[in-house]
Structure 1
Amino acid sequence: MSGSTLIKRRMNKENWKAYCFLFPSILIFAIFMFWPFIYTVYLSFFEWNLISPTKEFVGLQNYKEVLSDPNTYKIFGNTFIYIVILLLLNCIVPYVFAFVIDLILKRFNGFYKGALFLPAFISLVVGSILFTWILNPISGPVAIILGWFGLEMPNWSKTDGWVISVLSLITSWKVFGYNFIVLYASINGVSRELIEAARLDNVPLWRIFFNIVLPMSSATGIYVLIITIVQGLQYVFTPIKVITQGGPNYASSNAIYHAYHEAFVLYRTGHSAALSILTMVIFLVLLIIEFKYVERGIYYEN
């Protein structure tokens, strides 16, 4: 038997071992990800209320009704606003904090890291209730303090604009610490010699951040960017559910919550499935754009 034949047999044997090790993971993915996705696509072509034993085939009617509903565009607009606010609070701000704490604040470094990460251990439901009390426009601590200066706190849960801002703040309070720790670890891995050489040359800190730290930690930065966009869809669901239930008049709803509301409150499963598929398509397009234009300038050695 030739040596090449033995190598091929050994490679085939190793391949089968690899497939056997992968099979449990593939099975879990198939049950909990691929099948729900296929079933959602299937439901988007039917009219069903989750109770009836039969489903009525309506073709593309659910998609037409979703796209012709003005509330759909309002909800997608809300989703975009959530993502923008969360990108500011959960991507840009923790980047700056991580840079300052790692390179400028030398004392109490561990305390700052622990304090910023602490809210990550607290349930978002508990955080939502806590912020509801703190920001109560009548009897909350913030309203009382503003009253000392003759200022009145707006009824944010019933006001367009304010409600999205506050719900984004609640979500950021929960997830800020995780993003901060990830970015801090990345910045901490940037060459100290390079940074010290720049400081010896009297390079301003803002230039060190933009010209050295940001490019060399960009791989982690893009990860946090994508995670933050996902948070704009998923994490904000909890404060919406606990505090506003999508109100007032869909002013605080986002794409994920509205899909839930359509299916499990209004029992319009076809509409919910169609909205879910449209949401997935939009974010797939955004992901493709990100890979095509943003990934080119990423530095992966750190």
Structure 2
Amino acid sequence: MSTLTGIWGKFNKNRGNAFGYGLLIPSIIVFAIFTFWPFLYTVYLSFFDWNMISPEKEFVGLRNYMEVLSDSKTYRIIGNTFLYIVLLLAINCVVPYIFAFVIDVVLKRFNGFYKSAMFLPAFISLVVGSILFTWILNPVSGPLAIIFGWLGLEIPNWTKTQGWVILVLSLITSWKVFGYNFILLYASINGISREVIESARLDNVPLWRLFLQIILPMSSATGIYVFIITIVQSLQYVFTPVKVITQGGPDYASSNLIYHAYHEAFVVYRTGHSAAISIITMALFLILLFLEFKLVERGIYYEN
């Protein structure tokens, strides 16, 4: 009797598992069509020379990878990509962390207004934002240039100046991304026990120690999530201002790996090169994520 009961229990369990997997099938199909298949096709194209027009693809093996890795501008673009990552992490991860701490813990009034004001740009198209900032930061006739002119100062022609162009494009991208990251971090900090914070305040713990030794560790689970999506999504967002304003110029000074892959495929029609750049980009991101999980994930605090 006990044997039959055990068999029946296993049958019910397996049936429940099968039902659960069945519910996942539609999502798996969609994921396979829009993620796995494009990835596999990109790997396939990276071994061919094809201009997206000719019906024939010429198999070239690893030549696309060799040409990409032997091109000096590839390393310049990789350097631009890491510079974007550093700037976007500073502006979209560190700064909103500090803002969320100040608004939730230090300031006591108008919190709702601050949250709404910071999140508002998330609703505005980045194309519109890029055009708006191009007008505001116009070095000749923009409002900021006019105000600086009254003070005897000049705005550099940032779209043509190496270094400045990446900084300004990062600021434009951050204008769009900042509010979302801020709200996530604010919610995480707001969820920390008020008793812990008030006890620290009563013990006259300096604000910088309160942030570094209490707030930062106890909200680190959300912080690491924001850290990861900032690396991955911000470079996707920065594609828009690069496309609208600079098209990767001057002389690839504002291009990154994501835009360069687009440029190779849809501007100069070197699909094999574009696919190889895409695979190299994915490999670099996997290395970054592996290092992040290896070095940072250990110190994350999970309440439950």
| Structure 2 counterpart of 1:100 | 102
| Aligned residues of 1:45 and 1:270 also touching (Cα < 8 A) | yes
| Structure 2 counterpart of 1:216 | 218
2:167 is the alignment partner of 1:161: no
Deviations 1:136-180 (A, max 9, x none): 000001101111111111100000000000000000000100000
| Structure 1 counterpart of 2:191 | 189
1:237-252 superposed matches below 5 A: 237-252=239-254
| Aligned residues of 1:79 and 1:232 also touching (Cα < 8 A) | no
* Amino acid in the other structure paired with 1:158: K
| Structure 2 counterpart of 1:26 | 28
Q: Aligned partners of 1:144, 1:300: CA distance in 2, in Å?
A: 51
| Structure 1 counterpart of 2:120 | 118
Q: Aligned partners of 1:75, 1:159: CA distance in 2, in Å?
A: 16
1:124-273 superposed matches below 5 A: 124-273=126-275
| SS of the residue 2:213 aligns to | helix
| Aligned residues of 2:129 and 2:172 also touching (Cα < 8 A) | yes
* Amino acid in the other structure paired with 1:90: N
Shift of 1:233: 2.0
Deviations 1:60-101 (A, max 9, x none): 000000000011001110010111001110000000000000
* Amino acid in the other structure paired with 1:88: A
TM-score (norm 1): 0.99
Query: Unpaired runs of 5+ in structure 2?
Result: none
Q: Aligned partners of 2:231, 2:284: CA distance in 1, in Å?
A: 12
2:14 is the alignment partner of 1:47: no
Shift of 1:293: 1.4
Q: Aligned partners of 2:138, 2:119: CA distance in 1, in Å?
A: 25
Q: Aligned partners of 2:53, 2:126: CA distance in 1, in Å?
A: 31
Deviations 1:269-300 (A, max 9, x none): 00000000001011101111111111100011
Q: Aligned partners of 1:233, 1:62: CA distance in 2, in Å?
A: 24
Identity of aligned residues (%): 77
| Aligned residues of 1:135 and 1:143 also touching (Cα < 8 A) | yes
| SS of the residue 2:192 aligns to | coil
| Aligned residues of 2:46 and 2:275 also touching (Cα < 8 A) | yes
| SS of the residue 1:234 aligns to | helix
Shift of 1:11: 1.3
| Aligned residues of 2:169 and 2:242 also touching (Cα < 8 A) | yes
Shift of 1:58: 0.1
Aligned residue pairs, count = 302
* Amino acid in the other structure paired with 2:294: K
* Amino acid in the other structure paired with 1:69: D
* Amino acid in the other structure paired with 1:245: Q
| Aligned residues of 1:158 and 1:247 also touching (Cα < 8 A) | yes
* Amino acid in the other structure paired with 1:146: F
2:81 is the alignment partner of 1:79: yes
| Structure 2 counterpart of 1:294 | 296
**RMSD (Å), alpha carbons:** 0.8
| Structure 2 counterpart of 1:61 | 63
Show structure 1 runs of 4+ deviating over 4 A. Answer: none
